[in-house]
Amino acid sequence: MRTTLRRSTLDHLWPWLCAASLALSLLLLIMLVGLLATRGLGHFWPAPLQEVTLRSGETLAGQPIRETALPAQQGQERLYFTGNQDSDGQRWRWVAVDDIVSTRTPDDVIRLERTPWGDFIGRLVAFESANGHLEGEAAWKELQAQLALPPSARSLATLTLETASGASLMQPLSGVLHAQAPNALSLWEKLNAWQNGLWRFLSEGPRAANTGGGVWPAIFGTVLMVILMSVIVTPFGVLAAIYLNEIAHQGRLTRLVRIGVRNLAGVPSIVYGVFGLGVFVYGIGGSLDEWFFSDTLPSPTFGTGGLLWASLTLALLTLPVVIVATEEGLARIPDAQREGAMALGATRLEMLTRIVLPMATPAMLTGVILAVARAAGEVAPLMLVGVAKLAPQVPLDGDFPYLHLERKFMHLGYHLFDTAFHGEDVQAAIPLIYATAALLVAIVLVLNITAIFLRHHLRRQRGGEC
């Protein structure tokens, strides 16, 4: 009786346990995506700028970042991004909240994105150019008009700037990238500024040691490398799976090979990077330099990391995924389909190409796109076989042979790693880290969702046969 009651209780608890596990997994996934989206996309929203007066009489202007507790319950302190590194040598300022006398958000406080000194936060006093001297609102309108022009069409002008503490700065217009008065923007103008900031992030190259600018070269390098990897891995993975499932004798050796392929899928990715460095870069690449590029030695052409070797390394890394997925798709096809085709007079090749492979196409497609999703996020092997911290020139251009496989390239995953751990100002890079991580997760999600929809579409076309 007790055994029966215990089994009945477990039967009732088991569905709830499964549902709770699913709910927890979904909650964690939503929290991850929500954190990346809010922190990453929120970086491009025009944040208000505060002008703060302290008890000492000092005045500063900046963007409030966060608050933290002081030790021994001495109150709170607030971190401000104040910019103006060329004025006081620092861009960040911790301020005790109890020392703040007043806080204002005046409309005339502006934020300039500059090179090479980074952001300026303060006021625009005057705009000096060959056309004359402008002050106040007229100076701001002329600055906006000049920044709307291409850099080559802008006038030679100098801005007179003033910090909140009263220090005066002279800034050449040629060093100003963008200008914004966030406190004076309406909701629609802020939305437009957010959209423009997001577009610049996606379309521009990095600057300021990867703490500013965009990630376009990294996006292009990631997508191009994944395309090349897919072109390389697909035929080899599909052919290997066909041999293992359709041609090879199903004996002990075949089972050992199949076990080996599945184990290769769990090998740490850095091991593939070491293999790629030794075999592809130093072995094959070094031989190519000796045979075809001896005039350029000792400077290597293919004997150093590049796009080709990175694509081959990731193709080797994802090959087990494609083989396993394709073989599982082939194994699910009933033998009656094969026997029926052979009975109707089809050759073995015709049976494979016209019956078996079309039915296994959804599984092949799923394996390839899962491989793409994994390759898009790999970083460790790329550090050894071709990724670069900064490569503003993409490997595809108008110069023959147009696609330069020997060049180094940028990658979103490595860009994220480098910005987080090797940046000169990690605090300034945190918003870009979240934005880059959100972009990388979005790419992986799009690839996986594409696999699901394409597989569903092909299944419907095949009438649910595979």
* Separation of alpha carbons 310 and 382, rounded Å: 6
Closest of 447, 264, 452 to residue 369, by C-alpha: 447
Distances (CA, A) of 356 to 3, 90, 204, 231: 50, 67, 46, 22
Are both 256 and 148 inside the same structural domain?
Answer: no
* Separation of alpha carbons 346 and 354, rounded Å: 9
Of 203, 238, 268, which residue constitutes the final position of a domain?
Answer: 203
Of 203, 229, 257, which residue constitutes the final position of a domain?
Answer: 203
pLDDT of 438 above 80: yes
pLDDT of 309 above 70: yes
CB atoms within 10 A of CB 236: 14
Are both 185 and 223 inside the same structural domain?
Answer: no
Are both 165 and 190 inside the same structural domain?
Answer: yes
Are both 433 and 308 inside the same structural domain?
Answer: yes
- The 10s digit of each residue's pLDDT in 183-233 is 999 999 999 999 998 998 888 888 766 677 788 888 888 888 888 998 899
> At 338, is the pLDDT very low, low, confident or very high (cuts 50, 70, 90)?
confident
What's the first-to-final CA gap in the chain, in angstroms? Answer: 46
Q: What angle do CA 285, 288, 289 make, to 5 degrees?
A: 90
- Asked if residue 186 belongs to a domain, the reply is yes
φ and ψ at 96, to 5 degrees?
-65, 130
Q: What is the pLDDT of residue 372?
A: 83
Are both 199 and 220 inside the same structural domain?
Answer: no
271: tokens are: 């091991």
460: tokens are: 């419907």
- Asked if residue 209 belongs to a domain, the reply is no
Are both 187 and 221 inside the same structural domain?
Answer: no
Are both 198 and 273 inside the same structural domain?
Answer: no
Do 128 and 161 contact (CB within 8 A), yes or no? no
In this structure, what is the dihedral angle of CA atoms 448, 450, 452, 453, given to the nearest 10 degrees? 160
pLDDT of 258 above 60: yes
Are both 374 and 239 inside the same structural domain?
Answer: yes
50-54 and 59-69 as β-strands: parallel, antiparallel, unpaired?
A: antiparallel
Closest of 326, 300, 331 to residue 407, by C-alpha: 300
- Asked if residue 155 belongs to a domain, the reply is yes
pLDDT of 464 above 50: no
- Asked if residue 428 belongs to a domain, the reply is yes
* Residue whose tokens read 């550090």: 383
* Contact partners, residue 44, CB within 8 Å, separation at least 6: 193, 194, 197, 198, 201, 435
* Separation of alpha carbons 119 and 236, rounded Å: 51
The mean per-residue pLDDT over the stretch 74-78 comes to: 84
The mean per-residue pLDDT over the stretch 286-308 comes to: 82
Q: What is the pLDDT of residue 51?
A: 92
Q: What is the pLDDT of residue 11?
A: 66
Are both 251 and 388 inside the same structural domain?
Answer: yes
Q: What is the extent of the structural domain holding 226?
A: 216-461
φ and ψ at 33, to 5 degrees?
-65, -40
Q: What is the pLDDT of residue 204?
A: 85
| Residue 405: Cβ-neighbour burial (10 angstroms; 0-12, 13-18, 19+) | middle
In this structure, what is the dihedral angle of CA atoms 180, 183, 188, 190, given to the nearest 10 degrees? 50
The mean per-residue pLDDT over the stretch 32-42 comes to: 87
* Separation of alpha carbons 159 and 126, rounded Å: 6
Are both 279 and 193 inside the same structural domain?
Answer: no
281: three-class secondary structure by DSSP: helix
Are both 72 and 165 inside the same structural domain?
Answer: yes
Rounded to 10°, the helix 426-461/216-242 angle is 40
* Separation of alpha carbons 269 and 381, rounded Å: 6
Question: Would you put residue 57 in left (φ > 0), alpha (ψ -120 to 50) or beta?
Answer: left
Number of domains in the chain: 2
* Separation of alpha carbons 27 and 206, rounded Å: 34
Are both 350 and 449 inside the same structural domain?
Answer: yes
The answer to which of 154-168, 339-353, 395-409, 451-465 has the lowest mean pLDDT is 451-465
- Asked if residue 173 belongs to a domain, the reply is yes
Sign, CA dihedral 43-34-97-92, equals negative
- Asked if residue 387 belongs to a domain, the reply is yes
* Separation of alpha carbons 48 and 460, rounded Å: 52
Of 170, 203, 236, which residue constitutes the final position of a domain?
Answer: 203
